[in-house]
Structure 1
Amino acid sequence: MTEKSDDARLRVGVIGMGPTGSGLTAHFIDAGAFVVPCDIDREKIDLIKKEGVRLENTIQKEVSVEEACYSVQELKEYDLDLVVVSVKTPNLKKVVSIISEIVPEDAYVMCAQNGLDNEQEVAEILGDDRTLRMAVNFAGSMSSPNTVNVMFFNPPNYISALTKRGEAIANRIVKMLNSVDLKTEVSADFRDHAWEKAILNSALSPVCAITKLTMKDVMDSPDGLALVKAIIDESLRVAEAEGISLKRDFREFSINYLKGAGYHRPSMLVDLDNGLLTEIDYLNGRIAEYGRKHNLPTPVNQTITCLVHMMEHSAK
């Protein structure tokens, strides 16, 4: 695998133009990259071609788009250096399998999604040398097909390469994003950051999805808060058994962080409303798997996972 010159304009494909993909697209373009957004939603891509991508509220940005496409296969035409995958995790393997057949052999793939161990699924197909992982710490919702209402950003984001081969491009990405005020760091302890984010997502997103309540509504309810705390406590025991090093006072931090989330409808709730599969197996379900690995009971995470599975089934 040959390294491409840092002097060349970075060529990026972004698959999945939800809040994460749209947010990264806007910042990469603002930083000077050539970016090709990709989504199977034709209405979304048509509007992006016409009006560009907009971010509003916590982050404000508006960019025009040179090219965009309706399928992963179309990315073959663009000789990409980097493909950012921000589709929902249930679709990850399928998308990466297609990527493996169409992008140059020296291109890297960076997964920017919720969940634990996503990067391992990418590496199984593309190899460790070509795989990057990003923990995204901004969130929002689509106020229109090409506009993200960014509800919050708790910097920094984190990026990690699985091997030394990917460190140069990881550093290049970080430099670009920081140049346009999206604070991002390269992390040597990425797994710790991934677990922190997974615990935060697992604690509140599925509770909102099951109850149909916003984050603030759950956290303002004594019963909701008690359930969130139970998920956090159980997940922390599993993380400790797995040897994960979380930030100091992470339990207290988590509760305070989630209390500040506001009237946000997390993507898991939106997915269930739209009859889509959720990321539950990569969050509470994955934590329960690690619990079994260490012979630790995880009744709360298992119950939450089962309830969301039932709702997925009934929504079909």
Structure 2
Amino acid sequence: MKIAIAGAGAMGGRFGTMLATTDNQVMFIDSWADHVQAINDRGLQVHVGNAVTPHWIPAALPQDVHGSFDLIILFTKAMGIAPMLESLRSIITRTTHVMVLANGIGNIEQVEKFVPGRQIIAGVTVWSSELDGPGEITLTGAGNVTLQPLAGQSDDFFQAVLTAFHQAGLNPIASDDVLAAIWKKAALNCVLNTYTALLDCNVGEFGRLPNHETLIDGVLNEFAVVAHHEHIDFDLDAARQLILAQFAPGGNSAHYPSMYQDLAKGRPTEIDFLNGFIAAKGAASNIPTPVNRLLTQLIHGKEVLSKQSVRIPA
């Protein structure tokens, strides 16, 4: 099948290079001109440990993409989903499937404004990666991807997607309740992305703080109440254990989450689709969410400050 990775940053780069090892045709689409140019000039430079390997996958700006694709995998930031799909309207046909794997809650509703539900595959992944600069990413840890087609599990196209992802080593899991998986991953992001960004540390360093469990529970307890009110099957203890598992050596402990990376490079974050989403839902339903509300405002404050002094992690 023809696969377009819309948003070829850290995670898009990782999925694209892994899928390109199969018989499927892969193309990167990204709005960052320098990134696109670097990928086309010298391949996507992929760092794993001390090794660097170029991956020669064609890349293009959205306005320069023509033809059609069987599958478009969205890896833009949550706030970039609508602009990206708007720019790709001309290549989305009645047979084009769109997969959304972006962090945050509410992404499916954004995609439904552009394609009908029968063409949408919703998912969430715990793979990790870091964008080092134009045309360069660093891979860390291992992971999987949980997927569900809104049209139903028996769909032939979805089965082909599962096969391709399995062949690529992406460890796909077919789900009957992807919303539960999305909210579980969002809970992890609301904790690890936000705290590492605010405390200027990686995942392992946060896990070594003596009060890390208190900080985790402050976010998760509010998250669980809002999830229950939204009729989401959210297992608080399972989410907590998933977060704690990230601190193990050799896993994702050395990872700097995307929110940290965004602030370090002076970019806006996805906070309004994470802690901000929980705070907004809580306010609308008279559910107190003081921790998530405060964290949201602190990140917005850092967004302003980060534009004044762009910092790159050592």
Place the TM-score, normalised by the shorter chain, in its bin: 0.7 to 0.9
User: Partner of 2:93 in structure 1?
Assistant: 104
**1:65-214 equivalences in 2 (<5 Å):** 65=56, 67-69=58-60, 71-75=61-65, 77-143=66-132, 145-154=134-143, 156-164=144-152, 167-214=155-202
Per residue, is there more helix in 1 or in 2? 1
1:43 aligns with 2:34: yes
What is the rounded CA distance, in whole Å, between the counterparts of 2:94 and 2:196 in structure 1?
41
Alpha-carbon displacement from aligned partner over 1:136-193 (angstroms, at most 9, x marks no partner): 2100213454443222223x31112222499332221111110132110221210000
Under a length normalisation based on structure 1, what TM-score does the superposition of the two structures give?
A: 0.86
* 2:24 is aligned with 1:33: yes
User: Matched residues, percent identical?
Assistant: 22
Aligned to 1:249: 237
> Higher mean Cα deviation, 141-150 or 194-203?
141-150
Tell me: CA distance 1:66–1:286, structure 2 relative to 1, closer, same or farther (3 Å): closer
* Mapped partners of 1:110, 1:211: distance in 2: 33
**Counterpart code for 2:301:** M
TM-score by length of 2: 0.87
2:82/2:111 contact within 8 Å kept: yes
Counterpart of 1:217, as a letter, is: E
Q: Unpaired segments of 5 or more residues in structure 2?
A: 308-314
CA distances 1:202-243 after superposition (whole Å, capped 9, x unpaired): 012111112212222222112344212211222122223323
C-alpha separation between the residues in 1 aligned to 2:2 and 2:243? Answer: 39
**Counterpart-to-counterpart distance in 2, 1:185 and 1:238:** 26
Structure 2 residue matching 1:159: 3-state secondary structure:
strand
Give, in angstroms, the shift of residue 299 of structure 1: 0.7
**SS of 2:179's equivalent?**
helix
Matches of 2:83 and 2:185, distance apart in 1: 24
| Stretch deviating more after TM superposition (234-243 or 272-281) | 234-243
After TM superposition, the structure 1 stretch with the greater mean CA deviation from structure 2, 204-213 or 184-193, is 204-213
Figure out how many residues of one structure are paired with residues of the other and give that number. Answer: 303
For the pair 1:304 / 2:295, whether they are aligned, the reply is yes
- Is the CA contact (8 Å cut-off) linking 1:271 and 1:278 kept in structure 2? yes
1:20-51 CA distances to partner (integer Å, 9 max, x unpaired)? 10111112211211111122333332332244
Q: Which stretches in structure 1 are left out of the alignment for 5+ residues?
A: 1-9
What amino acid does structure 2 have at the position aligned with 1:242? E
- For residues 96 and 243 of structure 2, the distance between their equivalents in structure 1, rounded to whole angstroms, comes to 39
Letter in 2 for 1:227: L
Output the amino acid matched with 1:119. Answer: I
Report if the CA contact (8 A) 1:132-1:166 is conserved: no
Check the 8 A contact 1:83/1:110 in 2, yes or no: yes
Shift of 1:63: 7.0
The question of whether the paired residues in 1 share the 8 Å contact of 2:9 and 2:131 is answered with yes
Change (3 A) 1:107 1:286: same
List structure 1 runs of 4+ shifted beyond 6 angstroms. Answer: none
Shift of residue 53, structure 1, vs aligned partner: 3.6
Task: Provide closer, same or farther for how the CA distance between residues 186 and 255 of structure 1 changes in structure 2, counting only shifts above 3 A.
Answer: closer
Does the Cα contact within 8 Å between 1:205 and 1:269 map onto a contact in 2? yes
